[in-house]
Amino acid sequence: MARLLPGALAAGLAAFAAGAPAQPVPAAAPDATRSAAPPVEDGMARRMQACTVCHGREGRATSAGYFPRIAGKPEGYLFNQLANFREERRHNAAMNHLMRHMSDDYLREIARYFAGLDLPYPPARPHGLTAAQQAQAERLVFEGVPARGIPACTACHGARMAGRLPAMPGLLTLPADYLVGQLGAWRTGLRNAAAPDCMGEIARRLSADEASAVARWLSAQTLPPGTGPEAATARPMPLRCGSAP
């Protein structure tokens, strides 16, 4: 993480924290596409430039690997995560530090801003799975393993795995390293969601091989432009989830 926190970043982050317009983003930042960015007019967009140093321009994931896309995720999900970092139910030094003194109102404003960005998803990448691993991943996503209490991922994350309002995240195209990291963090207790933590239960029921196969499969899918989270539905979820009641 230290390598990703160049000194110049500090100024941008301080401006973000003060709610003031951010400084121009440091030229040495990892997102090579930034130079092509249109001039940013809106004050919120300017303040949120501090986030793009890691999350990519306008909140898209970069190709640098571990950073999750945040653009277009459900507002309720984003708010929950920002609060989880603030209250250290989720652990990442930069995110914990950034959120430390933020009010609920500001976190809601940030969540609404990123949820409202409708940006194209990256093109599909090969997953490199064997035929057996691919079948294992698709079975988990679409059917689950009922005998082991593992519901289909689509039951909560939406039929297209693009999320479901108000607080279920989409999972397709996220970096495989990030997805494996999150499933592992739930298993070791480093990531927690509001109780009952249904996703923690499910993560603990997956074997390491299953987690790796499903993560690589999810990261290799793509979504047509304009695909967003599904509407909220009264359809019951297979487990109770405190973060998405």
- Comparing CA positions, the residue from 164, 171, 181 lying closest to residue 219 is 171
Is 219 a binding residue for ligand HEC by CB under 6 A? The answer is: no
Is 223 a binding residue for ligand HEC by CB under 6 A? The answer is: no
Q: Compute the distance between CA of residue 177 and CA of residue 182 in angstroms, rounded to an integer.
A: 9
Give whichever of 3 and 226 is closer to ligand HEC, judged by the CB atom: 3
String of contacts with ligand HEC for each residue 110-149, x by CB under 6 A: x-----------------------------x---------
Is 179 a binding residue for ligand HEC by CB under 6 A? The answer is: yes
Is 193 a binding residue for ligand HEC by CB under 6 A? The answer is: yes
| CB of 98 closer than 8 Å to CB of 16 | yes
Among 71, 98, 176, 223, binds ligand HEC (CB under 6 A): 98
By CB under 6 A, the residues from 153 to 172 that bind ligand HEC are 153, 155-157, 168-169, 171
Alpha-carbon dihedral 147, 150, 154, 157, rounded to 10 degrees: 160
Which token pair is 233? 């539905």
Among 25, 129, 214, 223, binds ligand HEC (CB under 6 A): 214
Contact partners, residue 25, CB within 8 Å, separation at least 6: 12, 34, 49, 50, 52, 53
Backbone angles phi, psi at 230, to 5 degrees: -65, 155
Size of site (CB under 6 A) for ligand HEC: 48
Give whichever of 171 and 223 is closer to ligand HEC, judged by the CB atom: 171
Which token pair is 123? 């093109």
Q: Compute the distance between CA of residue 2 and CA of residue 10 in angstroms, rounded to an integer.
A: 12
String of contacts with ligand HEC for each residue 11-50, x by CB under 6 A: -----x---------------------------------x
